[in-house]
Amino acid sequence: MSDASTTPAAAVSESPRPSRRAHLTARVLQIVLALFFGIASAAPKLIGHSSAKESFDAIGFGDWFMYLTGALELAGAIALVIPILSGVSALALIGLMIGALIAQLTAFDGQNALTPVVLIVPLAVIAWVRRNHTAELSARIRGRG
């Protein structure tokens, strides 16, 4: 006999729901960041623009890493606007931005180190507001296992 309050679905429904204003703010941030990551950040990497190539050559990982990073940014951008994936996407993009911060500090002497930090803040807001989506996704995945 299982207690309904211990099931993953019950845990999702019991967590406090963010306000309507928080949802609207998160949605606007999701759209703006999806456009940024998809167009301004991923596109130059995926088309092999010279500025992106120079940056990744300086890091020392070569073209393959540039294309991988661009693909991850594009996937994250798309997932940001899919409700069930938005929280996980924000967390994954935070991880990517931590990597970018490390690269900025080590390979570029911190020239643009503030950029990933500035992007982490709205991504953290999205991850927090969409935490119920993340919990729901986690419950769905565990339920199928």
Distance CA 33, CA 101 (A): 17
In this predicted structure, what is the pLDDT of residue 91? 98
How many CB atoms lie under 10 A from the CB of residue 129? 23
5 token code pair:
């309050």
- Other Cβ atoms less than 10 A from the Cβ of 104: the count is 21
| Mean pLDDT for the stretch of residues 109-117 | 94
Q: pLDDT value at position 144?
A: 65
Paired tokens of 14: 């019991």
What local confidence, expressed as pLDDT, does residue 145 receive?
47
7-43: b (≥16 Cβ within 10 Å) or e? eeeeebeeeeebeeeeeebbbebbeebbebbbeebbb
Taking residues 62-83, what's their average pLDDT?
97
Question: DSSP labels for 75-132?
Answer: HHHHHHTSHHHHHHHHHHHHHHHHHHHHHHHHHSTTTTTHHHHHHHHHHHHHHHHTHH
Question: Looking at residues 93-110, what average pLDDT do you find?
Answer: 95
Residue 138 scores a pLDDT above 50: yes
Is the pLDDT at 27 greater than 60? The verdict is yes
Average pLDDT score over the chain = 90
Once rounded to an integer, what is the mean pLDDT over residues 107-118? Answer: 94
The DSSP output letter for 19 is P
Whether 48 has a pLDDT exceeding 90, the answer reads yes
Has residue 109 got a pLDDT over 50? yes
